[in-house]
Amino acid sequence: MDIGLDLGSSRTRLFIDKKGKVLDEASVAAYNVMTNKIIAVGDEAYAMLGKTPDSIRAEFPLASGVIAQSALVEDMVHILMKHVCTSKIVMPRVVVSIPGDITEVEKRAVVNAISFFGVRRVYLIENTKVAAMGAGIDIMGPHGAMVANLGAGTSSAAILSLGGIAESKCIKVGGNKMDDEIVKYMKHKYSLVIGQPMAERCKIAIGSLVENNGEDNTFRVKGRDAIGGLPRYVDVTESEIRDVIMETAMEIVTMIKDVIENAPPELVGDIYEDGITLTGGLAKLKGFAKLIADNTGIRVTVAKEPEDCVINGCGEAIQYIGEVEKSAKMDINPLMAAY
Ligand SMILES: Nc1ncnc2c1ncn2[C@@H]1O[C@H](COP(=O)(O)OP(=O)(O)OP(=O)(O)O)[C@@H](O)[C@H]1O
Ligand SMILES: [Mg+2]
């Protein structure tokens, strides 16, 4: 039995061959700062964010999409895996998605973090490839397909053809940066101190990148007064949050345009016909597809359940492991790299 793993900066997802997605939890680990002993991982640790005593720290060890703290990631993944792989998974092969631009050293850190006892082999595959596969796009044919995976810590866009990447770009900008902008805005404009989880709730509830036919929804942001220190709330509007998150959204739009501008013309022709597919949780932000379409002149669609495209694609890539082993021997450019 083999495993697919999406080590996202905000969520970790696990796929077991023939079963589908079996785990989807926050990429958070909480540990004792004195002993380094893990206290909780996943959603349980997420619930502790901002509420821990001095002796405990809860954090996202994958912030920005690559492994910042390998030991913590290793423990987190190991414990999460044990939650779902109670028995019968003997010597699995693991397909892991990685951002397109990571270095060999960072790749090694990913491989080391999941090569704990019993894992037979690790296969690394770029996020955009698996995102496209999970969105139901055929990436093996001689036809250009464009996908943009918009996540929490990273966003990437790629034009794929013949199982490979013809052109791609990846930036460390995503939903987290929008949350940070909301935190800063609430502090400066309203002297209201809030944490990232509240900012994220606000973004998901009323965040939008397009005008809403004159309607302006509101959301109650609860926090602490920066001066008095007492609890307080502010009702913010959709249009003011749009102004706060627009700059970050435009950084992502620019990245997508760069990929199109640098791609071979024949492939751009294919993209013009088929459009761009958005994956990743941030693809659900209201109006993102329209903003990209308006700025590129190309049709944009959001994949079904965009946040699950990467993990479902990892699951699908499992079936190519045999071919990857063969192509390595024949010196063909493989779909994924074996470690
Ligand atoms: N309905 C929604 N509206 C707006 N944003 C959303 C929505 N649902 C999820 N998000 C945002 O999507 C991001 C998470 O996306 P995803 O799960 O694809 O990230 P990830 O895989 O953990 O991160 P990365 O790929 O960057 O490492 C978060 O910033 C989250 O706030
Ligand atoms: Mg992701």
Whether 137-302 and 3-132+310-338 are alike in CATH topology: the answer is yes
Whole-number pLDDT of residue 81: 85
Instruction: Give CA–CA dist 217/214, Å, rounded.
Output: 10
pLDDT tens figures, 151-209: 999 999 999 998 899 999 999 999 999 999 999 999 999 999 999 999 999 999 999 99
Ligand nearest to the CA of 176: 1
Q: What is the mean pLDDT of residues 98-127?
A: 87
Domain spans, the chain:
3-132+310-338, 137-302
pLDDT tens figures, 207-259: 999 987 778 999 999 999 999 999 999 999 999 999 999 999 999 999 999 99
Residue bearing the bigger pLDDT, 189 or 117: 189
Does ligand 1 have an atom closer than 6 angstroms to the CB of 99? no
Candidates 62, 282, 312: which one to mutate for ligand 1, based on the most atoms within 8 Å of Cβ?
282
Distances (CA, A) of 119 to 89, 93, 95: 10, 6, 11
Q: Do strands 29-32 and 38-41 pair parallel, antiparallel, or not at all (unpaired)?
A: antiparallel
Instruction: Give CA–CA dist 71/320, Å, rounded.
Output: 30
Whole-number pLDDT of residue 113: 85
Pick the CATH number of 137-302 from 3.30.420.40, 3.90.230.10, 3.40.50.300, 2.40.128.110: 3.30.420.40
pLDDT tens figures, 267-307: 999 999 999 999 999 999 999 999 999 999 999 999 999 99
Q: Given a cut of 60, is residue 65 above it in pLDDT?
A: no
Lowest pLDDT segment from 111-120, 175-184, 328-337: 328-337
Residue 198 corresponds to which amino acid? M
Q: Given a cut of 70, is residue 331 above it in pLDDT?
A: no
Q: How far is the CA of 176 from the centre of ligand 1 (A)?
A: 8
Q: Which overall architecture, per CATH, does domain 3-132+310-338 show?
A: 2-Layer Sandwich (3.30)
Average pLDDT, the chain: 91
Packing angle of the helix pair 175-190, 238-262 (nearest 10 deg): 150
Does ligand 1 have an atom closer than 6 angstroms to the CB of 128? no
Residue bearing the bigger pLDDT, 338 or 266: 266
pLDDT tens figures, 130-155: 999 999 999 988 889 999 999 999 99
